[in-house]
Structure 1
């Protein structure tokens, strides 16, 4: 299981939101690049980057920071937030990221995502953000009537790199992940599943390891010291993770 520290960017700073609420923001660092270097020193093998301004505005807003993080760390990175066109995908790839996370556009136009997955095989990640099992879009500001599991199944036979599943009710709350939903998705969807949201303790990580997941994104608990990255990585059998080649 690949452990990915999350670096969420808003206004050029490293922040975290509670349950995706832009009004409940905590700033953890003035420089996302410096934060990325901290995770490298603690043993990170990959990073999960989120452009929160991009997600809200519908277009990438932190390209320069993304480019600098990739250059400074040398780690494979995946990026989500505001990527809605093929030009956006090409731009992000030119910044050096390995994977592109698509969320809102995926729900609006699945056929386009299939085309992008075919054009960029094993590069596109489906970002499924759910509230009460329903998919949320536009930076979590809108909730649809589509089931997250049904949508994951719809995309399952396409050449996607993975699915990142986030339970918004758990995200940033440090109350544990939605293990049951993650286990069900891993069992019923033939794509690598990456957990996101709520991971707070080493026991949470151990429970996720039992779900046969491809990866786990960790945010607030790392920033607030509830978890130490080195301790998390010590739980992962070598070789750690699935890689992001």
Structure 2
């Protein structure tokens, strides 16, 4: 199981939000590129970058920074936040991203989702963000009323190849990952799932590692607070 450090960017800085709340922000670094280099040096094999301003504004806001970041590391970078069109997805890929994450746009525009998944294939990932099992959009500020599993099935039919599942209630809280929801999603859809939100202990990693269909875990706040070291997380995911 892959361990993917998260780099959330707002105003050009590395930050973490509590449950996606922009009013509850903690700054963990002024230089996202240096942070990316740090995680690569510590053993990361992939990085997860989120454009928080883009998620709110509906278009990418970090393309020059993303280009610099991708050029500075030798591991693949996946990026989400503000990818609301095929053009913006292509812009992120042109900046050096290996994969783009489609969230709000997939929920609101199924035809666009189908076009992006058909055009980009493995380079596009469905970002499924849920609050109490209901799909959340627009930087997690609104919910659609659709159940997460129903949405996942719709997106599989539209061509989605893999899912990043984030339980918003767990995100940034260091209260543990919602492993049951991740496992259920993987079992019901048959798609590989990347777990996100609340991964904060070695026990979380061991639990996820044993679940069929969970191919990776994204870790954010636990790495930044020191609750987990990347070295420990990588060892746990490898079975050490």
For the aligned pair, the TM-score class normalised by the smaller chain equals: over 0.9
Would you say the 8 A contact 1:122–1:159 is kept in 2? no
Mapped partners of 2:2, 2:159: distance in 1? 20
RMSD, aligned CA: 1.1
1:161 Cα offset (Å): 3.8
Query: TM-score under structure 1 normalisation?
Result: 0.95
1:158 Cα offset (Å): 4.5
Query: Which whole-Å deviations, capped at 9, do the CAs of 1:36-87 have from their partners, x for residues lacking one?
Result: 1110111000000000000001110011111111110121011000011111
Q: Which moved more, 1:160-169 or 1:39-48?
A: 160-169
User: Which residue matches 2:230?
Assistant: 229
Q: Secondary structure at the match of 1:128?
A: strand
Would you say the 8 A contact 1:176–1:204 is kept in 2? yes
1:159 Cα offset (Å): 4.0
User: Which residue matches 1:203?
Assistant: 203
1:154 Cα offset (Å): 1.4
Mapped partners of 2:115, 2:61: distance in 1? 24
Would you say the 8 A contact 1:51–1:60 is kept in 2? yes
User: Which residue matches 1:176?
Assistant: 176
1:134 Cα offset (Å): 0.2
More helix by share: 2
CA distance 1:4–1:22, shift in 2 (3 Å): same
Mapped partners of 2:159, 2:77: distance in 1? 19
Q: Which moved more, 1:179-188 or 1:164-173?
A: 179-188
Which ranges in structure 2 are unaligned for 5 or more consecutive residues?
Answer: none
Which ranges in structure 1 are unaligned for 5 or more consecutive residues?
Answer: 239-245
1:3 Cα offset (Å): 0.9
User: Which residue matches 2:194?
Assistant: 194
